[in-house]
Structure 1
Amino acid sequence: MNKLAESLPGRRTIIDRRQVADALNAELVGLGDVLARRQAIVVTLREALAAGRREVSARLARNPTRGRDAVTAQAFLMDQIVRLLFDATVTHLYPVSNPTAAERLSVIAVGGYGRGEMAPYSDVDIGFITPYKPTSWTEQVIESMLYALWDLGLKVGHSSRSIDETMRMARSDLTIRTALLEARFIWGDRGVYDECVRRFDSDVMQGTARSFVAEKLAERDARHKQMGDSRYVVEPNVKEGKGGLRDLHTLFWIGKYVNRVRTVAELVDVGLLTRAELSQFQRAENFLWAVRCHMHEISNRAEDRLTFDLQIEVAHRMGFVEKRGRPPVERFMHLYFLMAKTVGDLTGVFLAHLDDTMARKGRRYIPAIFSRPRKLDGFVLDRGRIAIPHDDFFRERPVRMIEIFALADKHDLQIHPNAMRALNRDAVLIDRKVRNHPEANALFMGILTSPRDPEKVLRWMNEAGTFGRFVPDFGRVVAQMQFDMYHHYTVDEHTIRAIGLLSRIEKGDLREDHPLGSAIITRINSRRVLYVAVLLHDIAKGRGGDHSLQGAEIAEKLCPRLGLSAAETETVAWLVRYHLLMSATAFKRDLADYKTILDFAEVVQSPERLRLLLLLTVVDIRAVGPGVWNSWKRQLLTELYDAAEEVIRPGHKQRGRQERIEEKRQKLSQRLGIGDKAFDKLVKHFPQSYWIAEPDHILEQNARHLLSAGQTGLSIEAQPYPERGATLVTVYAADHPGLFYRIAGAIHLAGGNIIDARIHTLKDGSALDNFLVQDPLGRRFDAPEQLARIKTYIEDALANRQKLLTKLDQRPLPRTRAEAFEVVPQVIIDNKASNRFTVVEVMARDRPALLLSLAFALFQSKTMVHSAHVATFGERAVDTFYLTDLLGGKLESKSRLATLERRLLDAADNRCGELLDVNNFAMSG
């Protein structure tokens, strides 16, 4: 019997193997046909498997946090099914009365199943071992068993080898060696299994521990890199991700290979874990297994990525409820990330124990850097890592818990895992007295503003629990997820990454991506103001209310403690209060509208604040996650910065707005090479807003498009735009009411999803509109047939050659990840943001055809769209429109504005088909 199952209560309620075997034998005796017997075996086992799974599932429902019990019960059930199948196969299908020495067969479990762990839809990993080359009898038995297991609907990972072949392959293949390391006897010939285990120990494991450890750690690092190399990604892989189950398994594999332990508990006996660490190991493993089992049951398949929709359901199944204003899903994910952190901490101390053990034996798994320990302000160097001289070192003077990180930063040293363990244990000693200690605060500020690598050392402080203790407000956001599709990391990880990005910009490492930031960071008056602002910009997340306002209040209290002056404190508080202002203005407002610049400059007021705000904005956006930062955002932020500086420092700008436009004109003229007269004729109708809104390469693309269009009244171009991972669709047409809506509808009908739209009304009354388009799954939409379809659909829509509304009503909308989120639609209508236009901002849950629905509502309301600004923040879309009535004036009537608001709210809240289901609609508009 599987020893893990010995403690499993009520095993026979899961499956009573003897009872099933007796019933199956009685039925098979009366069947003479082999095919009928095989069918009877499958039917009986299918019923037993289904009943067992129902019982295991019911147990998990009753005890939703006991993951270890669930996976042990599942493995026990599978053991009994395999045993029943083996006995029925060799007794009733292929009996052999006098087996030869070669006609022996052992069935073993390998991998996770070998450990006695199996989630509901995990693969059944089994091996068939024969003493020599397989005989016809063993081949028949193996083939029959595999077909039966497949008929049961199981996904089987299997191998069939002789003992010699097994040893040969294990020596050359790390995966096979790891699987055999956990091999467990299920049924058949026990002697064959015992001989296989003996040979594996003597022929494969003996003398290869060092190489095995190195290969497993390299394999782990490669896996982490593939999974995002952070344990704080907001949709983690519970099995393979950093801080997941596979990391715990890796520790056990290494311990078992090096010290021949059979269970995790035995890692304590050989000194690789303490009893407290074993308890942490088991608690984390139990939690992660519970999460994975619930994911499998919800998905009805082997699902290991904890996606947003699964997070909500798993949180509900595991009994999380709302508390202190925090929804169940955020409380669940907070615990998940704390468990992932525990796994990371265990990995560090485990490898330290392993290294110390091997060093005593004269073999080291982690290479030494310094051979002689040296004293360093009371600390010591242990083989190149800063360590503590004795266990009470931090208790004697708790400020040392900050000092160790300052020394690690100053001298570029690793911290010994034993010191990290002491830090985790003694972090509770960081009290108000330590937090107010001038030396401790000076040391912390030195780390935060280090010219070397503050990100690395701050992450160590966070993992040790020291960071959150020293800055309690930061401790509140440790492992706190932001339940949205925009942020890729937890709040603490996002913040530490932002600090790292700021350091890299300051060192000039990101000059190509951030030329403006790299240039102005040398001109700021106070580095520490900027670094502290980055540290605090999201520190009030998760408290309910406006985190910017609350964060500013925290800054006012914390900055003096950190040693900042009153003026510096005021600036940090202002930056935290307005850290979203620049991105909101750049991405949601028309920068060609001069009032937008004036309103922004009125809030900023000083060139120093403008420089600081730009740098904070850049690192905040880029630290959100991979792929969030792009050249379009860089251009908009640069344009806003330049325009605002021109207002704030009149006469001090080297290049004003007009000069920048002229520079763009000259660059475009050189690229086109068409002569001055032809160029002036081409661009004389371009408004100032067009030059500001579009980057140089789009200006060139649009110009060549217009040149090729000639006198044609309508011209459409669609081409790949790899930099944005999308397709650029350009439409040049006579402007009229409904143009924007019809183009959006045609793109949707063609299967595209608009992720950005820049609408330009030229001086001659024509429209030049640029759309960025992806497919509904966020991929590039650029196959030749797709591009042709987009152009055809737009031509037909604008020429009124198809019943657009009918087709839109019939087209189904795909489900998206955003549907896991509840976003209450909001419409803001502002007649003060622009002198010429009514500015309408719509916030809603992102979905395919959202822009189409909004465009149709604007068309229904008899408005002209002069510019549109599409911004998407994960599941949340914020679309801003600059509108006039059909005569070119602002929308002033209260009743008309109320109607517009209602239509936009309906459009944001409803499916496209529901909105567009109108009768007798005149396409000519």
Structure 2
Amino acid sequence: MASVADIDPAEPSGPGGYAAARLQLLGADSPSGPPRRSGLSRITDAWLSALFDTAARESGVRGAALVAVGGYGRGELSPRSDLDLLLLHDGRDSGAVAALADRVWYPVWDLGIALDHSVRTPGEARKVAGDDLKVHLGLLDARHVAGDPGLTAGLRTAVLTDWRNRAAGRLPELRALCRERAQRAGELQYLLEPDLKEAHGGLRDATALRAVAASWVADAPREGLATARRTLLDVRDALHLATGRATDRLALQEQDQVAEALGLLDADVLLRQVYEAARTLAYASEVTWREAERVLASRSVRPRLKALLGGRPAPERTPLADGVVEQDGEAVLARTARPEKDAVLVLRTAAAAAQAGVPVNPHVVRQLAKAAPPLPVPWPAAAREELVTLLGAAEAAVPVWAALEAEGLVTRLLPDWERVRCRPQRNPVHTWTVDRHLVETAVRAAGMTRRVGRPDLLLVAALLHDIGKGWPGDHAVVGETIARDLAERIGFDAVDVDVIATLVRHHLLLVDTATRRDLDDPATVRAVAETVGSSATLELLHALTEADALATGPAAWSAWRASLVADLVQRVGAVLAGQPQAEAGPAALSAEQERLTVEAHRTGGPVVALRAREEGDAALGVELSVAVPDQPGVLPAVAGVLAMHRLTVRTAEIRPADVPVEGAEPVLLLVWRVAAAYGRLPEAARLRADLVRVLDGSLDLSSRLAEREKAYAAGVRRRSVQPPPPRVTVAASASRHATVLEVRAQDAPGLLHRIGRALEEAGVRVRSAHVSTLGASAVDAFYVTGGAGEPLTAREAAGVAREVGAALGG
């Protein structure tokens, strides 16, 4: 196998030789990582140097130099990187210099290599750098390639001197640029398809840290920084080779191929490595910028203080807790603190800093990591109280927790945390990695501590509720065992441990039941009451449910879901309080719904109404109500018409409603939350007209939808990442009045139409339905009965489940 060292830098003097050497370096057998990047830079230097020397000799130009800047200047050439070049000259013969530039640039373009180029004198380069921050940043990495080395050295010295002299103005400008980029590109450590360069914690931040260090104002924590930068560069190299493009976005469809190229097990391992690198860079950035801002502020204030006080004032130290003080806007250790003898000091420092809303000094965190003894197991009460105090600080706890994580202190306190640290969640509903989601849930729960009698149990359960996602199997079941062990470790008594374990095991119970079950069915409410066990646990579970959903992402919570969960909690609370539970009956209709049912009875046909959501939840679209006399085929007909008009169903509820007219037959009431996939919503009259035609058989809905379904299926087959197959199950004992079928599938055009048609063909009646869409996943529950209104037998239910699954391709 040829190595980088085998490639003679003198060989690629012509385009053909350079191209061959470049292809050899990018071959499958060539070493990756820093050897490849330095090899690419080396052969590129040799080729460009030969080009420049020949062109300079033939054109008679002497006072000129070819300078690599930006990424090429740093020697970070990825397979598809562009070349950042500056042709520096002394200004004596601009015509000859222009000809020289053409003879260097055109061979680069002829090879199809992207080129960012400029031709300037040293004075011009300094002036442009003074006006343009990005140019100044690129020149900080200037490296001589060919020509007069004195010109390059002089420019480097001048540019660095300008950078240091203007640090008070340049660094705040660079900080603002970094913040704007982070807001635009997001945080690399949490993105499913991250931009390795632009996102916060990416390669741009690594370059910014070099610039801050060059100013001599502050320097980044060095531990792990070089490894993190190398990781991101290695991933970018593999991404360039996998895609054949100069891209920095690690898209889902390329992740498996990139992981394989890097010798990693799978895409999850790849993302975890990327997230760990990004977290290191992001933390180093925050620490460095905080120090830079402190130094710059002290430089502007200190001369005035000296003039007023006749000398340098001692830093002010404000007590925060036993052994912890605030100094210069950071939590530091008091002079009397003895970290080697105080096992609780780590948590006490973190809690005090979070409550004061200040960061912990990074040197203090490192000192605590090295010197503090481990906590005894179980923890003393003081340690448990400090953990609860830290979590109760809400948003202020996040940077403090990140500081503890950066030095490995969180894993030392909670060993099972390592399994969820930087773990990606391949679900578009989720905004965060598992560990960050747990912290964010605790942040949300901190705002609900006044609603519950035991805020300490709520905060700890919030921190642990998804701890099982680090292990195979149902994360709630696995998490119950882990949470029980950790709660005992933290020092809770047996009763409290049971409550925390129950909260973790059933943290999805309320939202799943409220959105997928018939709350008017007494069996639903009784089942939840039996699982929860007490009013105090119900109170905690309600708050945890809301905190978890809010911390998941905007698609996971809405006023509609909140109202359903609150309704369920009220009913379960009544059962737990011993109040008699009434048998299921028809739910009360709103005035608008009553009007629609009367109109449907009067006309004998469907009535359709559209109205905007009052809660202002744009993600859930508008409310569409359909009232239609009960007849076979209503569900697939309405769902098909919505699919035909390209309406996305967010939620749906289908139930019979008694018409307030004596002797009238029941009317089916369908309440949908829909949004237009493209353009505007259709008018209600148009939807009604098409629904009438479908119900009377004059519109062949199946053929109208077939082409769309075929195109969608073809698109799915072309994807490199295939969605999991649909799953249809029977929820045993979920209702005494009906059989409950649960359908989980990838959301797709006409999905609900296909389900409804399969149920109709199976000969069952849909008593009610509860439909919800979470990201790309549909999670639906259908209450079905036989022809006489009775629940299905176990055998019949299993058969219907198989038929529905077959209709969905499962």
TM-score by length of 2: 0.84
Residue in structure 2 matching 1:314, options 258, 265, 276: 258
Deviations 1:3-34 (A, max 9, x none): xxxxx963564xx675454xx5xxxxxxxxxx
Name the CA shift for 1:799/1:818 in 2 (closer, same or farther; >3 Å). farther
Name the CA shift for 1:18/1:336 in 2 (closer, same or farther; >3 Å). closer
Aligned-partner Cα distance in 2 for 1:608–1:137: 85
Aligned-partner Cα distance in 2 for 1:90–1:190: 14
Aligned-partner Cα distance in 1 for 2:488–2:106: 73
Name the CA shift for 1:739/1:67 in 2 (closer, same or farther; >3 Å). farther
Aligned-partner Cα distance in 2 for 1:391–1:142: 66
Q: CA deviation at 1:417?
A: 1.8
Matched, 1:554 2:482: yes
Name the CA shift for 1:710/1:652 in 2 (closer, same or farther; >3 Å). closer
Aligned-partner Cα distance in 2 for 1:253–1:830: 60
Instruction: Give the aligned residue type for 1:756.
Output: T
Q: CA deviation at 1:251?
A: 1.0
Q: Secondary structure of the residue that 2:563 maps to in structure 1?
A: helix
Aligned-partner Cα distance in 1 for 2:201–2:67: 29
Matched, 1:782 2:679: yes
Matched, 1:292 2:189: no
Aligned to 1:332: 270
Aligned to 2:464: 536
Equivalent pair of 1:717/1:791 in contact (CA under 8 Å): no
Aligned to 2:374: 430
Aligned to 1:610: 538
User: Aligned ranges for residues 85-104 of structure 1 at < 5 Å?
Assistant: 96=59, 98=60
User: Aligned ranges for residues 709-724 of structure 1 at < 5 Å?
Assistant: 711=603, 713-714=605-606, 723-724=617-618
Deviations 1:748-801 (A, max 9, x none): 4444543433334444454443444457xxxx5333789999788766655545
Q: CA deviation at 1:493?
A: 0.9
Aligned to 1:591: 519
Aligned-partner Cα distance in 2 for 1:56–1:381: 54
Q: Secondary structure of the residue that 1:840 maps to in structure 2?
A: strand
Name the CA shift for 1:374/1:783 in 2 (closer, same or farther; >3 Å). closer
Aligned to 1:675: none
In the alignment, structure 1 segments of 5+ residues that lack a partner are: 1-7, 25-43, 260-270, 322-327, 507-520, 670-678, 686-705, 911-925
Aligned to 1:693: none
Q: Secondary structure of the residue that 1:540 maps to in structure 2?
A: helix
Aligned to 2:384: 441
Aligned-partner Cα distance in 1 for 2:297–2:481: 51
Aligned-partner Cα distance in 2 for 1:362–1:744: 67
Equivalent pair of 1:205/1:257 in contact (CA under 8 Å): yes
Matched, 1:118 2:77: yes
Instruction: Give the aligned residue type for 1:57.
Output: L
Instruction: Give the aligned residue type for 2:277.
Output: M
User: Aligned ranges for residues 162-173 of structure 1 at < 5 Å?
Assistant: 162-173=121-132
Residue in structure 2 matching 1:904, options 801, 804, 810: 804
Aligned-partner Cα distance in 2 for 1:137–1:726: 65
Equivalent pair of 1:753/1:849 in contact (CA under 8 Å): no
Matched, 1:241 2:199: yes
Matched, 1:463 2:429: no
Name the CA shift for 1:134/1:807 in 2 (closer, same or farther; >3 Å). farther
Aligned-partner Cα distance in 2 for 1:795–1:187: 79
Residue in structure 2 matching 1:223, options 181, 205, 218: 181
Aligned to 2:308: none
Aligned-partner Cα distance in 2 for 1:344–1:391: 32
Q: CA deviation at 1:415?
A: 1.6
Aligned to 2:432: 489
Deviations 1:647-672 (A, max 9, x none): 3336699xx9999977x84xx57xxx
Aligned to 1:513: none
Equivalent pair of 1:445/1:562 in contact (CA under 8 Å): no
Aligned to 2:619: 725
User: Aligned ranges for residues 754-765 of structure 1 at < 5 Å?
Assistant: 754-763=649-658, 764-765=665-666
Equivalent pair of 1:781/1:787 in contact (CA under 8 Å): no
Aligned to 1:178: 137
Aligned-partner Cα distance in 2 for 1:588–1:404: 45
Aligned to 1:580: 508
Aligned to 2:572: 644
Aligned-partner Cα distance in 2 for 1:838–1:136: 87
Aligned-partner Cα distance in 2 for 1:220–1:627: 28
Aligned-partner Cα distance in 2 for 1:531–1:360: 39
Aligned-partner Cα distance in 1 for 2:577–2:698: 54
Deviations 1:600-632 (A, max 9, x none): 233234322221111010111111134432222
Residue in structure 2 matching 1:810, options 692, 703, 707: 707
Name the CA shift for 1:145/1:791 in 2 (closer, same or farther; >3 Å). farther
In the alignment, structure 2 segments of 5+ residues that lack a partner are: 306-311, 659-664
Q: Secondary structure of the residue that 1:415 maps to in structure 2?
A: coil
Aligned to 1:213: 171
Aligned-partner Cα distance in 2 for 1:651–1:876: 38
Residue in structure 1 matching 2:735, options 809, 822, 834: 834
Q: Secondary structure of the residue that 1:725 maps to in structure 2?
A: helix
Aligned-partner Cα distance in 2 for 1:872–1:387: 48
Deviations 1:815-843 (A, max 9, x none): 46997355353321246322333211022
Matched, 1:252 2:196: no
Aligned to 2:279: 341
Aligned-partner Cα distance in 2 for 1:148–1:48: 11
Q: CA deviation at 1:468?
A: 2.0
Aligned-partner Cα distance in 2 for 1:250–1:460: 20
Equivalent pair of 1:459/1:496 in contact (CA under 8 Å): no
Q: CA deviation at 1:283?
A: 1.4
Q: Secondary structure of the residue that 2:366 maps to in structure 1?
A: helix
Equivalent pair of 2:394/2:444 in contact (CA under 8 Å): no
Name the CA shift for 1:470/1:293 in 2 (closer, same or farther; >3 Å). same
Q: CA deviation at 1:537?
A: 1.3
Equivalent pair of 1:320/1:332 in contact (CA under 8 Å): yes
Equivalent pair of 1:745/1:808 in contact (CA under 8 Å): yes
Instruction: Give the aligned residue type for 1:881.
Output: F
Deviations 1:67-124 (A, max 9, x none): 3333333444554565566678778xxx64x55x8xx765433322221212223343
Deviations 1:576-597 (A, max 9, x none): 2211111110122122334322
Name the CA shift for 1:606/1:902 in 2 (closer, same or farther; >3 Å). same
Q: Which moved more, 1:77-86 or 1:282-291?
A: 77-86
Name the CA shift for 1:771/1:133 in 2 (closer, same or farther; >3 Å). farther
Aligned to 1:864: 765
Instruction: Give the aligned residue type for 2:268.
Output: E
After superposition, the CA RMSD in angstroms is 4.3
Aligned-partner Cα distance in 1 for 2:55–2:761: 72
Q: CA deviation at 1:528?
A: 1.3
Q: Secondary structure of the residue that 1:414 maps to in structure 2?
A: coil
Name the CA shift for 1:750/1:90 in 2 (closer, same or farther; >3 Å). farther
Q: Secondary structure of the residue that 1:820 maps to in structure 2?
A: coil
Deviations 1:470-519 (A, max 9, x none): 1222343222233433332222211111111111234xxxxxxxxxxxxx
Aligned-partner Cα distance in 2 for 1:388–1:798: 76
Aligned-partner Cα distance in 2 for 1:538–1:480: 11
Aligned-partner Cα distance in 1 for 2:586–2:791: 30
